[in-house]
Amino acid sequence: MRIYRICRIGHLENFEGQGASFRHGRRWNKAGVPVLYFAESASVAMLEMANYLPSPRLVPTAYRLGVYEVASSAAIKRWHVSDLPKERDVFPRSQWARQAGTEWLLHGKESLLSVPSAAVPGGLENIVLASPHRLAPARIRLIEALEDLYDSRAFAIQLSCLPLNSSPDCSDAKARRPSTAAPARWDHSVRRFVRLADYNHRLT
């Protein structure tokens, strides 16, 4: 089985599970509980990254997409959408998901747990939790680290049609043209992305 994750180069082969998710907690684990987060596909790993950045163009240059091979001897448990309550997907955190994931990490039998990704509608794709205590290093190995994570065309639109204090109205065709902005202008673009995200959040 192959699984994927995006992280800093120096952490690609660190399987201790004591990174940011351990320190602060995440959707499927409480703080202080060791865990490793992967995705069942490279595309889901890339979508999950979008939860932390306003644009994939802002992924730090020290990050790589790690491709991992997991031994067939590593048992995996699967939680399907039909088996889970709706509150599993609550934003920003589902207390049910955090408690259920923590219980599995502490008391489960399997090395891996496949759960629906909150980054994909309807739980059509999955992420994978790994218990560092049950997934021995001999059962997982890094087979490739990819540097160019996103196509240069991805998220290349400038939101120049957005006034600083108004709602978005991207009727101007020029706003849809790919941007050739240099990195020096990204800070301005980030502020516009954040304003759009805040506006969309207030609509929901």
Do 161 and 141 belong to one domain?
no
Model-level pTM?
0.75
pLDDT at 122 over 70: yes
CA atoms in the 13 A half-sphere facing the CB of 56: 20
Q: What is the average pLDDT score of the chain?
A: 81
Do 116 and 29 belong to one domain?
yes
Do 105 and 18 belong to one domain?
yes
Going by C-alpha positions, the residue among 147, 173, 167, 129 that lies closest to residue 22 is 129
Do 132 and 182 belong to one domain?
no
The pLDDT value given to residue 58: 82
Do 190 and 106 belong to one domain?
no
pLDDT at 1 over 70: yes
Note whether residue 123 is domain-resident: yes
Of the candidates 146, 176, 192, which is a domain's last residue?
146
Question: For the chain, what is the radius of gyration of the CA atoms?
Answer: 19
Distance CA 140, CA 3 (A): 10
pLDDT at 127 over 90: yes
57 or 13, which is more confident: 13
CB–CB of 136/101 below 8 Å?
A: no
Domain region containing 33: 2-146
Tell whether omega for the bond before 168 is within 30 degrees of 0, i.e. cis.
Answer: no
The pLDDT value given to residue 159: 46
Indicate the number of domains in the chain.
2
Do 114 and 199 belong to one domain?
no
Note whether residue 151 is domain-resident: no
What confidence tier does 166 reach under pLDDT thresholds 50, 70, 90?
very low
Do 31 and 70 belong to one domain?
yes
Do 37 and 84 belong to one domain?
yes
CB–CB of 35/29 below 8 Å?
A: yes
Q: Which residues contact 106 (CB under 8 A, 6 or more apart)?
A: 33
Do 129 and 163 belong to one domain?
no
Do 112 and 60 belong to one domain?
yes
Going by C-alpha positions, the residue among 113, 143, 147, 132 that lies closest to residue 39 is 113
